Amino acid sequence: MWLLEWEVLVDTYSFMFTTLLNGGRLSQEKSIIQEKYINKPNSHSVYLAPFVNEVLNNATMSINELDGVVISDGPGSYTGLRIGSSLAKGICLGAGIPLMAVSTLKGLAKKALNDYPSVNQAIALVDARRSDAYIGVYNQQLKPIIKEQFITINSELKIEKSNAVVVGSGAMKFINELDVKKELKHSESVLYAKDLLDEAMLKWAKQDFVDLTSYEPNYIKSVFVTKPKSKF
């Protein structure tokens, strides 16, 4: 089975990855066939589609040979998520293949728990500017303890911090504001497209695909569109 994956994350770091994987059946070894990434802010519209073409060309494959597409579901940058999901839906609709969307926060939590297997929970945070962040808290089995949501990081925020690891672009903001007792462990792991594969394979086995006609990324916070102010 051939899966095309990308993870578009624009916050403090601005990473973008496109990965083509041969997932095989669930019992078979998974291998990365092509991988491409860039660390450049606000570059999705310029690089994402060419990266897809490049990894396919390097693998001497066409879109019609793919079995599915996997993307990060957010939360994160509105623009990055829109561009990534629009391209994914276009490919899937054109090729008649399914789309699987994997939570960015859950992916980060899984990497952090791999880094610190002895902790009880992972606190995943994506920076949302100022004192805000998107947060998801997961136990060792990656079951949500606190559902994914938009928060303001301040002293009034009540989250259990003992025996926990913090991960993501909002981690240091959280640690500096709330970890007075220096209890928290900090994972500096970054989410790559290939890190979405295990969760995507579970979704594949369950036929847990998104509805291509109605799917929107998990923005969490509502998108507001305003008119530009008049110059006169």
Is pLDDT at 213 greater than 50 in this prediction? Answer: yes
The string of pLDDT tens digits covering residues 52-83 is 888 888 888 899 999 999 999 989 888 888 98
DSSP character at residue 142 = -
* CATH value at residue 182: 3.30.420.40
Q: Of 147 and 79, which is predicted with more confidence?
A: 147
The string of pLDDT tens digits covering residues 120-131 is 999 999 998 888
Average pLDDT of the segment spanning 136-140: 96
Is pLDDT at 117 greater than 50 in this prediction? Answer: yes
Of the spans 10-19, 136-145, 172-181, 197-206, which averages the highest pLDDT?
136-145
As a whole number of angstroms, the distance between CA 79 and CA 89 comes to 15
Domain residue limits at 165: 104-187
Does residue 148 form part of some domain? Answer: yes
171 and 201 inside one domain: no
Whether the Cβ atoms of residue 126 and residue 173 lie closer than 8 Å to each other: no
Does residue 196 form part of some domain? Answer: yes
Share of the chain above pLDDT 90, in %: 47
pTM (predicted TM-score): 0.84
Q: HSE of 88 in the Cβ direction (CA atoms, 13 Å)?
A: 35
